[in-house]
Amino acid sequence: MEMLRKIFIVSAISSSTFISPISMAIADTVDSGLYLTAGIAKGLENDVDGSINGTDFSKTGHITDAIGIGIGYELGNNWRFEAKYTKAKSDIDSVTVDGTKYEIHMNGTGHGVQFAVAYDLENDSIITPYLGGSTLISWLDDVDGISTSYGVDIGISAPLFDYLELWGAINLTISPDQTNKDISYYGAISSGFSTGLRIRLWFIEKS
C-alpha cells in the first residue's frame, strides 16, 4: 500500500497543468490590464513509468477532474501572464510491478501553483486562437515532496461580453525525469482538455 501511495504522487499532482494557463480573446472596447480566470479540465488516460528502491513499476491512470483559479495581466501587445492555484483529482486504474499487473482503483487530490505565459494570434474573427506555456509546482495531500511539470496549450477564445470571455484548449503536460525521496519517475507526456471563463477587471482600471 505504501508503494502504491508513492506511485500515486505523479498521478495526482503533475497533471494539474491541464488547466489552461491563459484565456485569449480581445474585446475592442476593453482596455488591457488585470483579469480573473477560472477553468475546469479532464485528462486522458496515460502511463507513467518509474522505480522504487530499484523495483520498476508502470501505472495507468488519468485526471478525473481539475479546477483552476487565478489572476493575470494583459500587456496590450498580445502577450498574457498569469499566476494560478490548481486542484486536481486523479485515479489509478492499474499498476504493473516487475511484470505483474494489478488492477486497482486508487484516487487522491493534488494541489499546485502555476505560472503561465501565452500569445494571442490576432485575426479578423471574434474567435481568437492562442498558444500557451506554463510551469507547475505541485504536491499531494499528506505526502511529503513536490513535483515540477510543464504545460503546452493550443486553444481558442471568444468574447461573450466586453468584460467576459469563454475559452477552450487542448493541453499537453510534460513531466521530466525526477526523484521524490526513494521513488523515481521517468519523463512522460500526458494530454487533456480544458475550458473556462475570463473576467476583465475593467471597473478597477476605470474607477
- Please state the domain extents for the chain: 2-205
**What predicted TM-score, i.e. pTM, was given to this entire model?**
0.77
The string over 98-124, giving b where at least 16 C-beta atoms fall within 10 Å of a residue's C-beta and e elsewhere, is eeeeeebebebebbbbbebbbbbeeee
User: Which of 6-20, 67-81, 82-96, 172-186 is predicted least confidently?
Assistant: 6-20
CA 128 to chain centre: 21
Q: How confident is the model at residue 202 (pLDDT cuts 50, 70, 90)?
A: low
Kindly tell me if the per-residue pLDDT of 105 is higher than 50: yes
The CATH code that applies to domain 2-205 is 2.40.160.20
Query: How far is residue 120's CA from residue 153's CA, in Å, rounded to a whole number?
Result: 12
- Better-scored residue on pLDDT, 113 or 141: 113
pLDDT category of residue 51 using cuts at 50, 70 and 90: confident
Sequence-distant (6+) residues with CB within 8 A of 124 are none
C-alpha distance across the termini of the chain, in Å: 56
